[in-house]
Amino acid sequence: MKAPGLNIKELAQQVAERLEELALVSDEPGWLVRTFLSPASARANALVGGWMREAGLTVREDDFGNLTGTRQGPPGARKLVIGSHLDTVVDAGKFDGPAGVLLGIAAAAACPDLPFTLEVVGFSDEEGVRFQSTYLGSRAYVGKISPEELALRDAAGISVGELTAARRAAGFPEAGADLENLMGYLEIHIEQGPVLEEAGLALGVVPGIAGQTRILAGFTGQAGHAGTTPMPLRRDALAAAARLVLEAESQAQLHPPLLATVGKMEVLPGAGNVIPGQVVFTLDVRSPDNTAREAALEHLEQFGAAEAAARRLAWHWQVKQSNPAVPCDAGLSARLTEAVAAGQPVVPRIFSGAGHDAAVLAGVGPAAMLFVRCRAGLSHHPDEYASPEDLAAALEAVVRFVLSLAASPYV
Protein backbone atom coordinates (compact mmCIF):
# COMPACT_ATOMS: atom_id res chain seq x y z
CA MET A 1 0.00 0.00 0.00
CA LYS A 2 1.44 3.40 -0.92
CA ALA A 3 0.91 6.40 1.35
CA PRO A 4 -1.83 8.66 -0.06
CA GLY A 5 -0.46 11.63 -2.02
CA LEU A 6 0.53 13.68 0.99
CA ASN A 7 3.73 15.59 0.76
CA ILE A 8 6.05 14.14 3.40
CA LYS A 9 8.40 17.10 2.99
CA GLU A 10 5.61 19.61 3.75
CA LEU A 11 4.44 17.59 6.76
CA ALA A 12 8.01 17.49 8.08
CA GLN A 13 8.37 21.24 7.52
CA GLN A 14 5.13 21.67 9.47
CA VAL A 15 6.63 19.56 12.31
CA ALA A 16 9.71 21.82 12.33
CA GLU A 17 7.57 24.95 12.52
CA ARG A 18 5.33 23.48 15.23
CA LEU A 19 8.38 22.55 17.32
CA GLU A 20 9.43 26.21 17.23
CA GLU A 21 5.94 27.27 18.34
CA LEU A 22 5.75 24.65 21.09
CA ALA A 23 9.18 25.67 22.40
CA LEU A 24 7.73 29.07 23.36
CA VAL A 25 5.45 27.33 25.88
CA SER A 26 7.53 27.40 29.06
CA ASP A 27 7.01 27.60 32.82
CA GLU A 28 9.77 30.20 33.09
CA PRO A 29 10.79 33.16 30.94
CA GLY A 30 14.18 33.08 29.25
CA TRP A 31 14.52 29.34 28.88
CA LEU A 32 12.43 26.25 28.06
CA VAL A 33 11.15 24.21 30.99
CA ARG A 34 7.86 22.26 31.18
CA THR A 35 7.46 19.96 34.15
CA PHE A 36 4.89 17.39 35.25
CA LEU A 37 1.37 18.89 35.43
CA SER A 38 2.73 22.44 35.36
CA PRO A 39 0.80 25.37 33.85
CA ALA A 40 3.02 25.32 30.74
CA SER A 41 2.41 21.59 30.35
CA ALA A 42 -1.33 22.27 30.34
CA ARG A 43 -0.86 24.94 27.65
CA ALA A 44 1.36 22.59 25.64
CA ASN A 45 -1.33 19.89 25.79
CA ALA A 46 -3.92 22.35 24.52
CA LEU A 47 -1.70 23.32 21.59
CA VAL A 48 -0.65 19.77 20.65
CA GLY A 49 -4.20 18.52 21.20
CA GLY A 50 -5.36 20.97 18.55
CA TRP A 51 -2.80 19.58 16.10
CA MET A 52 -3.99 16.05 16.91
CA ARG A 53 -7.57 17.08 16.09
CA GLU A 54 -6.40 18.62 12.79
CA ALA A 55 -4.98 15.19 11.92
CA GLY A 56 -8.41 13.66 12.58
CA LEU A 57 -7.56 12.11 15.96
CA THR A 58 -9.85 11.95 18.97
CA VAL A 59 -8.06 13.71 21.82
CA ARG A 60 -8.05 12.78 25.51
CA GLU A 61 -6.01 14.07 28.47
CA ASP A 62 -5.86 11.91 31.59
CA ASP A 63 -5.33 12.67 35.29
CA PHE A 64 -1.55 12.23 34.86
CA GLY A 65 -1.51 14.77 32.03
CA ASN A 66 -0.84 12.25 29.27
CA LEU A 67 -2.25 13.48 25.95
CA THR A 68 -3.54 10.87 23.51
CA GLY A 69 -4.80 11.27 19.95
CA THR A 70 -6.58 8.15 18.71
CA ARG A 71 -8.04 6.99 15.41
CA GLN A 72 -10.10 3.93 16.30
CA GLY A 73 -9.83 0.92 13.99
CA PRO A 74 -12.62 -1.63 13.46
CA PRO A 75 -13.87 -3.52 16.55
CA GLY A 76 -11.20 -5.89 17.91
CA ALA A 77 -8.52 -4.26 15.73
CA ARG A 78 -4.87 -4.32 16.80
CA LYS A 79 -3.37 -1.07 18.15
CA LEU A 80 -0.18 0.72 17.17
CA VAL A 81 1.01 3.39 19.61
CA ILE A 82 3.47 6.07 18.50
CA GLY A 83 4.65 8.29 21.33
CA SER A 84 7.21 10.25 23.25
CA HIS A 85 7.13 12.91 25.96
CA LEU A 86 6.08 16.58 26.07
CA ASP A 87 7.76 17.49 29.35
CA THR A 88 11.30 18.85 29.28
CA VAL A 89 14.42 19.27 31.37
CA VAL A 90 15.43 22.76 32.58
CA ASP A 91 16.82 25.05 29.85
CA ALA A 92 15.82 22.36 27.39
CA GLY A 93 16.09 21.96 23.65
CA LYS A 94 13.06 21.95 21.36
CA PHE A 95 13.34 18.37 20.09
CA ASP A 96 13.87 15.99 23.05
CA GLY A 97 10.41 14.45 23.34
CA PRO A 98 8.16 16.75 21.30
CA ALA A 99 9.80 15.78 17.98
CA GLY A 100 8.58 12.19 18.47
CA VAL A 101 5.04 13.29 19.36
CA LEU A 102 4.68 15.72 16.44
CA LEU A 103 6.18 13.22 13.97
CA GLY A 104 3.62 10.71 15.27
CA ILE A 105 0.82 13.19 14.52
CA ALA A 106 2.28 13.80 11.05
CA ALA A 107 2.41 10.03 10.41
CA ALA A 108 -1.26 9.80 11.42
CA ALA A 109 -2.08 12.59 8.96
CA ALA A 110 -0.07 10.81 6.24
CA CYS A 111 -1.83 7.46 6.80
CA PRO A 112 -5.54 8.22 7.15
CA ASP A 113 -6.84 4.76 6.25
CA LEU A 114 -5.36 2.04 8.43
CA PRO A 115 -6.87 -1.35 9.29
CA PHE A 116 -5.79 -0.94 12.94
CA THR A 117 -6.18 1.57 15.75
CA LEU A 118 -3.50 4.26 15.77
CA GLU A 119 -2.81 6.13 19.00
CA VAL A 120 -0.33 9.00 19.28
CA VAL A 121 0.74 9.78 22.86
CA GLY A 122 2.43 12.77 24.44
CA PHE A 123 3.61 11.44 27.82
CA SER A 124 3.57 13.94 30.67
CA ASP A 125 6.69 13.12 32.66
CA GLU A 126 9.64 11.32 31.14
CA GLU A 127 12.33 13.64 32.49
CA GLY A 128 11.32 13.42 36.16
CA VAL A 129 12.31 17.02 36.96
CA ARG A 130 9.49 17.83 39.42
CA PHE A 131 9.54 14.60 41.48
CA GLN A 132 13.02 13.27 40.55
CA SER A 133 11.37 10.05 39.44
CA THR A 134 11.08 9.51 35.73
CA TYR A 135 8.39 7.89 33.52
CA LEU A 136 5.43 8.88 35.76
CA GLY A 137 3.31 9.55 32.66
CA SER A 138 4.04 6.36 30.75
CA ARG A 139 3.87 4.21 33.90
CA ALA A 140 0.37 5.59 34.56
CA TYR A 141 -0.52 5.00 30.90
CA VAL A 142 0.37 1.30 31.21
CA GLY A 143 -1.30 1.05 34.63
CA LYS A 144 1.87 0.44 36.68
CA ILE A 145 2.07 3.45 38.99
CA SER A 146 3.14 2.29 42.49
CA PRO A 147 1.96 3.59 45.89
CA GLU A 148 5.54 4.83 46.44
CA GLU A 149 5.30 6.93 43.26
CA LEU A 150 1.93 8.35 44.33
CA ALA A 151 3.55 9.32 47.65
CA LEU A 152 6.43 11.26 46.02
CA ARG A 153 6.39 14.92 47.06
CA ASP A 154 7.72 17.92 45.11
CA ALA A 155 9.69 20.84 46.55
CA ALA A 156 6.41 22.41 47.73
CA GLY A 157 5.43 19.20 49.52
CA ILE A 158 2.62 18.29 47.13
CA SER A 159 2.35 14.58 46.29
CA VAL A 160 1.72 12.92 42.95
CA GLY A 161 -1.38 11.33 44.46
CA GLU A 162 -2.81 14.67 45.63
CA LEU A 163 -2.16 16.31 42.25
CA THR A 164 -3.76 13.55 40.21
CA ALA A 165 -6.72 13.16 42.60
CA ALA A 166 -7.44 16.87 42.20
CA ARG A 167 -7.38 16.43 38.43
CA ARG A 168 -9.83 13.52 38.61
CA ALA A 169 -12.08 15.68 40.78
CA ALA A 170 -11.84 18.32 38.03
CA GLY A 171 -13.03 15.76 35.50
CA PHE A 172 -9.88 14.34 33.93
CA PRO A 173 -10.28 10.60 33.28
CA GLU A 174 -8.04 8.13 35.10
CA ALA A 175 -4.89 7.18 33.21
CA GLY A 176 -4.80 3.68 31.82
CA ALA A 177 -4.64 2.72 28.16
CA ASP A 178 -6.52 -0.12 26.50
CA LEU A 179 -3.51 -2.22 25.51
CA GLU A 180 -5.28 -5.56 25.11
CA ASN A 181 -4.71 -5.57 21.35
CA LEU A 182 -1.40 -3.74 21.41
CA MET A 183 0.54 -4.64 18.25
CA GLY A 184 3.50 -2.48 19.19
CA TYR A 185 4.92 0.82 20.34
CA LEU A 186 7.19 3.07 18.28
CA GLU A 187 9.15 5.97 19.74
CA ILE A 188 10.88 8.43 17.41
CA HIS A 189 13.55 10.42 19.25
CA ILE A 190 16.63 12.49 18.52
CA GLU A 191 19.75 10.41 19.16
CA GLN A 192 21.13 12.82 21.77
CA GLY A 193 24.57 11.51 20.83
CA PRO A 194 27.16 11.82 18.01
CA VAL A 195 26.98 8.45 16.26
CA LEU A 196 24.64 9.34 13.37
CA GLU A 197 26.36 12.65 12.67
CA GLU A 198 29.76 10.89 12.69
CA ALA A 199 28.39 8.31 10.24
CA GLY A 200 26.82 10.99 8.02
CA LEU A 201 23.42 9.28 8.35
CA ALA A 202 19.99 10.61 9.33
CA LEU A 203 18.43 7.58 11.04
CA GLY A 204 19.33 4.68 13.32
CA VAL A 205 17.44 1.89 15.08
CA VAL A 206 17.76 1.25 18.82
CA PRO A 207 18.39 -2.34 20.04
CA GLY A 208 18.06 -1.44 23.72
CA ILE A 209 17.90 1.23 26.43
CA ALA A 210 20.40 1.55 29.27
CA GLY A 211 19.43 0.88 32.86
CA GLN A 212 19.44 3.93 35.08
CA THR A 213 19.26 4.64 38.80
CA ARG A 214 18.62 8.06 40.31
CA ILE A 215 19.75 8.69 43.87
CA LEU A 216 19.13 11.61 46.21
CA ALA A 217 22.12 11.68 48.58
CA GLY A 218 23.55 14.03 51.17
CA PHE A 219 25.89 14.71 54.07
CA THR A 220 24.97 16.53 57.29
CA GLY A 221 27.77 18.01 59.40
CA GLN A 222 28.08 21.26 61.27
CA ALA A 223 27.98 24.79 59.90
CA GLY A 224 30.55 27.08 61.47
CA HIS A 225 32.70 30.17 61.17
CA ALA A 226 35.13 29.93 58.22
CA GLY A 227 37.62 32.12 60.04
CA THR A 228 37.71 30.68 63.53
CA THR A 229 37.16 26.91 63.13
CA PRO A 230 40.44 24.96 62.87
CA MET A 231 40.47 22.42 60.01
CA PRO A 232 40.71 19.30 62.25
CA LEU A 233 37.60 20.36 64.15
CA ARG A 234 35.42 20.86 61.09
CA ARG A 235 32.47 18.70 60.02
CA ASP A 236 32.37 20.04 56.46
CA ALA A 237 29.56 18.46 54.40
CA LEU A 238 30.73 19.91 51.10
CA ALA A 239 34.27 18.57 51.39
CA ALA A 240 32.79 15.08 51.77
CA ALA A 241 30.43 15.61 48.82
CA ALA A 242 33.32 16.75 46.66
CA ARG A 243 35.14 13.47 47.38
CA LEU A 244 32.00 11.52 46.46
CA VAL A 245 31.56 13.39 43.16
CA LEU A 246 35.14 12.58 42.13
CA GLU A 247 34.75 8.94 43.24
CA ALA A 248 31.64 8.62 41.08
CA GLU A 249 33.54 10.06 38.13
CA SER A 250 36.47 7.68 38.63
CA GLN A 251 34.15 4.66 38.95
CA ALA A 252 32.70 5.49 35.54
CA GLN A 253 36.17 6.11 34.06
CA LEU A 254 37.36 2.75 35.41
CA HIS A 255 34.36 0.76 34.16
CA PRO A 256 33.14 2.03 30.77
CA PRO A 257 30.41 2.20 29.41
CA LEU A 258 29.20 2.92 32.96
CA LEU A 259 28.14 6.58 33.33
CA ALA A 260 27.82 8.54 36.57
CA THR A 261 26.62 12.14 36.94
CA VAL A 262 25.99 14.52 39.82
CA GLY A 263 23.73 17.05 38.14
CA LYS A 264 22.31 19.04 41.03
CA MET A 265 23.74 20.02 44.43
CA GLU A 266 22.38 22.21 47.20
CA VAL A 267 24.90 23.60 49.71
CA LEU A 268 23.57 24.93 53.04
CA PRO A 269 23.56 27.44 54.54
CA GLY A 270 25.29 28.76 51.40
CA ALA A 271 27.37 31.71 52.58
CA GLY A 272 30.98 32.23 51.60
CA ASN A 273 32.24 32.60 55.18
CA VAL A 274 30.29 29.66 56.63
CA ILE A 275 31.47 26.04 56.66
CA PRO A 276 28.79 24.04 54.76
CA GLY A 277 26.77 22.15 57.34
CA GLN A 278 24.56 20.28 54.87
CA VAL A 279 24.77 19.19 51.25
CA VAL A 280 22.06 17.42 49.22
CA PHE A 281 22.78 16.19 45.69
CA THR A 282 21.51 13.95 42.90
CA LEU A 283 23.45 10.98 41.51
CA ASP A 284 22.52 9.44 38.14
CA VAL A 285 24.18 6.08 37.34
CA ARG A 286 23.61 4.23 34.05
CA SER A 287 24.85 1.21 32.14
CA PRO A 288 23.65 -1.33 29.59
CA ASP A 289 24.92 -3.86 32.14
CA ASN A 290 22.64 -4.07 35.19
CA THR A 291 25.28 -5.88 37.30
CA ALA A 292 27.89 -3.19 36.64
CA ARG A 293 25.42 -0.45 37.52
CA GLU A 294 24.42 -2.13 40.78
CA ALA A 295 28.05 -2.77 41.73
CA ALA A 296 28.94 0.88 41.18
CA LEU A 297 25.97 2.01 43.29
CA GLU A 298 26.96 -0.34 46.12
CA HIS A 299 30.54 0.96 45.98
CA LEU A 300 29.44 4.61 46.06
CA GLU A 301 26.98 4.10 48.91
CA GLN A 302 29.76 2.47 50.97
CA PHE A 303 32.24 5.18 49.94
CA GLY A 304 29.84 7.86 51.19
CA ALA A 305 29.28 6.05 54.46
CA ALA A 306 33.05 5.78 55.04
CA GLU A 307 33.56 9.46 54.18
CA ALA A 308 30.79 10.40 56.61
CA ALA A 309 32.30 8.28 59.41
CA ALA A 310 35.74 9.78 58.86
CA ARG A 311 34.38 13.34 59.11
CA ARG A 312 31.74 12.73 61.83
CA LEU A 313 28.87 13.44 59.40
CA ALA A 314 25.49 11.86 58.81
CA TRP A 315 25.11 10.13 55.40
CA HIS A 316 21.82 10.05 53.46
CA TRP A 317 21.18 7.79 50.45
CA GLN A 318 17.70 7.48 48.89
CA VAL A 319 16.94 5.58 45.69
CA LYS A 320 14.43 7.82 43.88
CA GLN A 321 14.01 5.45 40.94
CA SER A 322 15.75 2.56 39.32
CA ASN A 323 15.03 0.99 35.93
CA PRO A 324 16.91 -2.01 34.48
CA ALA A 325 18.34 -2.03 30.96
CA VAL A 326 15.61 -2.94 28.46
CA PRO A 327 15.96 -4.63 25.05
CA CYS A 328 13.73 -3.36 22.22
CA ASP A 329 11.64 -5.98 20.42
CA ALA A 330 13.83 -7.67 17.80
CA GLY A 331 11.01 -8.45 15.39
CA LEU A 332 9.42 -5.03 15.43
CA SER A 333 12.88 -3.44 15.20
CA ALA A 334 13.58 -5.59 12.15
CA ARG A 335 10.39 -4.25 10.52
CA LEU A 336 11.49 -0.71 11.37
CA THR A 337 14.98 -1.37 9.99
CA GLU A 338 13.47 -2.56 6.69
CA ALA A 339 11.42 0.64 6.48
CA VAL A 340 14.49 2.79 7.17
CA ALA A 341 16.71 0.79 4.78
CA ALA A 342 14.37 1.57 1.86
CA GLY A 343 15.63 5.14 2.09
CA GLN A 344 18.99 4.66 3.80
CA PRO A 345 20.75 1.38 2.92
CA VAL A 346 23.05 1.51 5.96
CA VAL A 347 21.02 1.49 9.21
CA PRO A 348 23.15 1.86 12.36
CA ARG A 349 22.04 0.11 15.57
CA ILE A 350 22.62 2.52 18.46
CA PHE A 351 22.13 1.46 22.09
CA SER A 352 20.45 4.28 24.02
CA GLY A 353 22.26 5.68 27.06
CA ALA A 354 19.32 8.03 27.54
CA GLY A 355 16.13 6.78 29.13
CA HIS A 356 12.92 6.79 27.09
CA ASP A 357 9.25 5.98 27.67
CA ALA A 358 9.89 3.02 25.35
CA ALA A 359 11.59 1.39 28.37
CA VAL A 360 8.19 1.34 30.07
CA LEU A 361 6.13 0.34 27.01
CA ALA A 362 8.59 -2.53 26.39
CA GLY A 363 7.24 -4.01 29.62
CA VAL A 364 3.75 -4.43 28.15
CA GLY A 365 4.39 -5.20 24.48
CA PRO A 366 6.80 -5.01 21.53
CA ALA A 367 8.65 -1.66 21.49
CA ALA A 368 10.90 -0.21 18.81
CA MET A 369 12.80 3.09 18.64
CA LEU A 370 13.93 5.22 15.74
CA PHE A 371 16.81 7.66 16.34
CA VAL A 372 17.11 10.87 14.34
CA ARG A 373 20.46 12.65 13.88
CA CYS A 374 20.94 15.75 16.01
CA ARG A 375 23.62 18.38 15.48
CA ALA A 376 26.85 17.64 17.40
CA GLY A 377 24.89 15.06 19.39
CA LEU A 378 23.87 17.90 21.67
CA SER A 379 20.77 17.53 23.85
CA HIS A 380 19.38 18.77 27.17
CA HIS A 381 20.61 22.12 25.85
CA PRO A 382 18.89 25.02 24.03
CA ASP A 383 21.10 24.49 20.94
CA GLU A 384 19.61 21.00 20.38
CA TYR A 385 18.76 20.71 16.65
CA ALA A 386 17.49 18.25 14.05
CA SER A 387 17.11 19.46 10.44
CA PRO A 388 13.79 19.50 8.55
CA GLU A 389 15.47 17.16 6.03
CA ASP A 390 16.21 14.61 8.77
CA LEU A 391 12.71 15.02 10.19
CA ALA A 392 11.39 14.29 6.67
CA ALA A 393 13.61 11.19 6.40
CA ALA A 394 12.25 10.02 9.76
CA LEU A 395 8.65 10.66 8.72
CA GLU A 396 9.14 8.82 5.43
CA ALA A 397 10.57 5.80 7.26
CA VAL A 398 7.78 5.83 9.85
CA VAL A 399 5.10 6.03 7.15
CA ARG A 400 6.71 3.05 5.40
CA PHE A 401 6.81 1.23 8.76
CA VAL A 402 3.12 1.98 9.46
CA LEU A 403 2.05 0.91 5.97
CA SER A 404 4.06 -2.29 6.23
CA LEU A 405 2.13 -3.11 9.42
CA ALA A 406 -1.11 -2.30 7.59
CA ALA A 407 -0.12 -4.70 4.82
CA SER A 408 0.93 -7.45 7.23
CA PRO A 409 0.31 -6.95 10.97
CA TYR A 410 3.09 -7.67 13.44
CA VAL A 411 2.18 -10.71 15.47
Point out which residues bind ligand HGY (CB under 6 A): 126-127, 134, 354-355
Q: Which of 27, 61, 96, 119 binds Mn ion (CB under 5 A)?
A: 96
Give me the least distance between CB of 367 and ligand HGY, in Å please: 16
Query: Least distance (Å) from ligand HGY to the CB of residue 126?
Result: 5
- Of these partners, ligand HGY, Mn ion, none, which one is at the site of residue 352 (CB under 5 to 8 Å by kind)? none
Interaction between residue 27 and Mn ion (CB under 5 A): no
User: CB-based contacts of 176: which residues, under 8 Å, 6+ apart?
Assistant: 62, 140, 141, 143
Residue 378 CB-density burial (10 A; 0-12 exposed, 13-18 middle, 19+ buried): middle
Residue with smaller CB distance to Mn ion, 278 or 379: 379
- Closest distance between Mn ion and the C-beta of residue 92, in Å? 8
Partner that binds at residue 204, options ligand HGY, Mn ion, none, CB closer than 5 to 8 Å by kind:
none
Q: Please say which residue, 98 or 277, places its beta carbon nearer to ligand HGY.
A: 98
Complex with Mn ion: residue 251 or 323, whichever CB lies closer: 323
Q: Which is nearer to Mn ion, 130 or 311 (CB)?
A: 130
Residue 355 touches which of ligand HGY, Mn ion, none (Cβ within 5-8 Å per kind): ligand HGY
221 binds, among Mn ion, ligand HGY, none (CB under 5 to 8 A by kind): none
Provide the minimum distance between the beta carbon of 58 and ligand HGY in the complex, in angstroms, as a whole number. Answer: 28
Output the smallest distance, CB 134 to ligand HGY, in A: 6
**Identity of the residue, 356 or 400, whose beta carbon is nearer to ligand HGY in the bound complex:** 356
Q: Which is nearer to ligand HGY, 134 or 278 (CB)?
A: 134
Q: Which does 83 bind (CB under 5 to 8 A by kind): ligand HGY, Mn ion, none?
A: none
Nearest distance in Å: CB 204, Mn ion = 15
* Residue 97 binding result from Mn ion, ligand HGY, none, given CB thresholds of 5 to 8 Å by partner type: Mn ion
- Residues within window 338-357 making contact with Mn ion, judged by CB under 5 A: none
Q: Which is nearer to ligand HGY, 62 or 187 (CB)?
A: 187
By CB under 5 A, is residue 83 in contact with Mn ion? no
Question: Smallest gap, in angstroms, from Cβ of residue 388 to Mn ion?
Answer: 20
Compare residues 120 and 354 and give the one whose CB is closer to ligand HGY: 354
Contact indicator for 234, 249 with CB cutoff of 8 Å: no
Q: Is 100 in the site for Mn ion (CB under 5 A)?
A: no
Residue 134 contact partner, candidates ligand HGY, Mn ion, none, CB within 5 to 8 A by sort of partner: ligand HGY
Q: How far is the CB of 125 from ligand HGY (least distance, A)?
A: 10
CB of 95 to Mn ion, least distance (A): 9
The interface partner of residue 149, options being Mn ion, ligand HGY, none and the CB cut-off 5 to 8 Å by kind, is: none
Taking the C-alpha atoms of residue 233 and residue 229, their distance in angstroms, rounded to an integer, is 7
59 binding partner (options Mn ion, ligand HGY, none; Cβ < 5 to 8 Å by kind): none
Handedness of CA 346, 352, 357, 360 (dihedral sign): positive
By the rule CB under 5 A, 97 interacts with Mn ion: yes
CB hemisphere CA count around 292 (13 angstroms): 18
**What CA–CA distance (Å, rounded) separates 326 from 333?**
14
| Dist. CA 390–CA 199, nearest whole Å | 14
Q: 358, 210 in Cβ contact below 8 A?
A: no
Binding-site ranges for Mn ion (CB under 5 A) = 96-97
